[in-house]
Chains A and B, each alone.
Chain A
C-alpha cells in the first residue's frame, strides 16, 4: 500500500483583539478525501476546487467575528488526502488535532471514520454525502449531516409535482451509482406522494450530445409514452442538460436539470439570502452551491453551539445541537435544527431553475404533526437509525 499523501494547511486563525476575558479555543478540522471525477460532456459548469471548503471558510469568518465579542477563538485546519490514499490515517491525523471535524468523503469512508476508536469522543459532520442510508440503518451517533439526503430532495420535488397535479411521471436515469441512488429516491418519493412513474429509460449513450441532442433525444423520449413531468437522474451533471426542449412531447423536465431540488443555488435570494450570497461571492469569486452551503451550515452550527454553551467540548456541543434549544438562521426562511433521530439538519429545499427560485419545499398544505420540515426525507417512524436512541 502506498504511503498516504497528506497535505496539511492552516486556513485561518484570524482572532483579533480578543477582549480581556477567559479565552476559549475552538479548534476545528476540515478533512477532504479527494475523489477522481468521471468526465462529463459539457465544460460549462466546472467543478470548483474549493467546493464545500469555501463555505466552511465563510462560516469560520462569521464565527470569528462573533467569537471576538465573547473571547472564543476559532480555527479551522484543512487536511487533504489525495485519491487512493489511506482514509483512516488521514482521519486519525485530523482527530489528533481536534475532536470537531467536518468531512467530505464517500459514505463507506464516513462510516469507517466514525467507527474509529479516536472518533468516539468526537463530533463529526458529513458535509458532502447525500446518501440516504447514512441517515437510516447506517447512521452513527457521532456523525451529523448538513447536506440534505437524496430522499429530502426527492420529496421536495414530489411535493411540487403533486401540488401541481402532475401525477404522471417518466424517469430517465444515468448509469453511475449516484444516478441510480437518486432514481431510487425519486421512485420511493413518488410512491409516498401517490404519483406514478409510468415509464423509465436508462441513459446509455456514448455519443457527444453537444452535437446531436436534437436528433437523439426526441427519439429516445418517444418511447416513454405520455406523462406530465419528465424526471432526470443525472447526479454528475453529465447528460441531463441536453434533454429540455428536445423531448418528443412538450413536457417540463425536473430532477438533476430543469426544476432542481437543491440545498442551495445562486437564485436563492429571499430571507436575507442575498447577503449570504454576496459575502460568499466576495470570498470565493463564484456562486455558492449546495456543498458550500452544507459546509457553511456545519461550521456555523458549531459556532452557534459554542456561542450558546460557552463550551468547546464535543459532547456538550452535540447535546445542545440535538436539543430543541438549538436553532440556526440559515437564510431559508425558517430556523434550521437537527433531527434527533438521525442527526440530519432539517432545512427547506429550494426548487430552482437556472435563473429563478420556482418554489421552496415544504410546500403549503404538506402538514406534519410536529414540524413541516419533517415532511422531507426520513421521518422518525421511517428511519431505521438506532444509534441516536
Chain B
C-alpha cells in the first residue's frame, strides 16, 4: 500500500527529488525521496525501517534497515525522545519533551497530524494494548498522564515519584509501570482503577522498564546503580539483579539504560550508556555473556523485523550502531542527527 501511494504522488507531477537539502516543510519533496529510496531497494520486499529521534536536532532519522542508510530526515517538535508506533504502524507518537506535547505523525508523509495533550515534559510513554491509551511519563511534573488518542483528551493523571521516565505495560494490559529517576522506584499502576497498587524500590536512577516472558517478569534498569532489577510480577518481589563489569571501564561508567530481548526471550541486549558497550545477557540465568563495543553513550535500541539486526542509538557520537544478533558483532555505523535517543521499528 505504501508504494502505491508514494508512486501515485510521483506520477501526479510532484517535483523530483534533488540531492540538496531536504525541505523541512515540503512534504511532497520528502515523499519523492522516500519513494526513490524504495525504488532503489534491491529486495523485492519493502525494507523495514528504524526510526530514530535526534534529541538535539529536533528531527527523526529514518534508516533503511537492510541498507543501513538514512533515507529521510523529518522535523519534529523540540527535543524528541521517546517514539512509538500505533499497532498498525499508521501513526507515530513522539514525545517532544521541550514542546511539552506528544506529536502524532503520519509516518508515510512525515506530516504532524496533531498534538496530544501530554502534561509537561513528556519523556517516555507506552501505548496500551487497547491501541487507544497512551501512558506518558511527565518528567518535570512527577505525574503519569493517561491520554485517549482518539478523543485526544487527558483521561487521568497519576502522582508518581520525582522525574518519572521508564514506562512499561504488561502484555494483558492490566498493569502499567512508571519508574521515577530521583525517587528510585517502580510504581505499579492498575489500569482499571488507574491507582498505584505497589511501589518497589530499585537502585539509583531507574531509566527503563519492560515486562518480559509473557508478563511474568518486570525488568527495570538503574543507570547510576548500574544494575537491572528483575521482579516477579505476581508478587512484585525482587527475583534477581543483573550486574555488569566491563574490563578497563570503571564501574561508575557502566550505566544500563535501554534494553531489548530476542524473540525467544532467552537473550537480552542492554545499553550501558557511557561505557559505550551493549551487554548480552542470558535472560534465564541473568548472567552476562558478552559485551559489544558500540558508539558513545548508548541509550536505546530497536530490532529489525526478523530480529536479526539490532540498532542502538549512540547519543554522544551521534550515530547508530548496527549489531548482527547471531554473531553478536557490530557490523555498521550509521550517522544520524545530534544526540540520537529513541528508536522504533516500522515494517
Contacts of A307 in B (CB 8 A): 184, 201
- Contact flag A278-B140 (CB < 8 Å), given A66-B161, A66-B162, A372-B252: yes
- Contact flag A327-B224 (CB < 8 Å), given A66-B162, A69-B199: yes
Interface residues on B, range: 20 to 34
* Centre residue among A65, A308, A373 by max chain B CB count within 10 A: A65
What's the nearest-Cβ distance from chain B to residue A71, in Å? Answer: 10
Interface residue A83 (Cβ < 8 Å from any Cβ of B): no
Whether B185 contacts A335 by the Cβ 8 Å rule is no
Contacts of B319 in A (CB 8 A): none
Q: Chain B interface secondary structure, helix, strand, loop or mixed?
A: loop
Q: Chain A interface secondary structure, helix, strand, loop or mixed?
A: helix
CB-CB contacts of B218-239 with A at 8 A, as 1s and 0s?
Answer: 0000011110000000000000
Interface residue B183 (Cβ < 8 Å from any Cβ of A): yes
CB-CB contacts of A259-286 with B at 8 A, as 1s and 0s?
Answer: 0000000000000100100110010000
Whether A62 contacts B182 by the Cβ 8 Å rule is yes
Q: List 29 interface pairs A-B (beta carbons < 8 Å), by A numbering.
A: A62-B182, A62-B183, A65-B142, A65-B183, A66-B162, A66-B182, A66-B183, A66-B184, A69-B187, A69-B199, A70-B199, A272-B205, A275-B139, A275-B140, A278-B121, A278-B140, A282-B140, A304-B204, A308-B201, A327-B224, A329-B204, A329-B205, A329-B223, A334-B224, A335-B204, A335-B224, A371-B250, A371-B252, A372-B252
Interface residue B80 (Cβ < 8 Å from any Cβ of A): no
A300 CA to B181 CA in the complex, in Å? 13
Contacts of B196 in A (CB 8 A): 69
What's the nearest-Cβ distance from chain A to residue B141, in Å? Answer: 10
Whether B182 contacts A69 by the Cβ 8 Å rule is no
- Contact flag A329-B183 (CB < 8 Å), given A65-B162, A278-B140: no
Whether B183 contacts A69 by the Cβ 8 Å rule is yes
Contacts of B217 in A (CB 8 A): none
What's the nearest-Cβ distance from chain A to residue B251, in Å? Answer: 9
Whether B161 contacts A69 by the Cβ 8 Å rule is yes
CB-CB contacts of B231-260 with A at 8 A, as 1s and 0s?
Answer: 000000000000000000010110000000
Contacts of A68 in B (CB 8 A): 159
* Centre residue among B185, B205, B224, B225 by max chain A CB count within 10 A: B224
- Contact flag A62-B204 (CB < 8 Å), given A329-B181, A329-B182: no
Q: Which of B185, B223, B253 contacts A66 (CB 8 A)?
A: B185
**A348: nearest residue on chain B (CB-CB)?**
B252
Contacts of A69 in B (CB 8 A): 161, 183, 185, 187, 196, 199
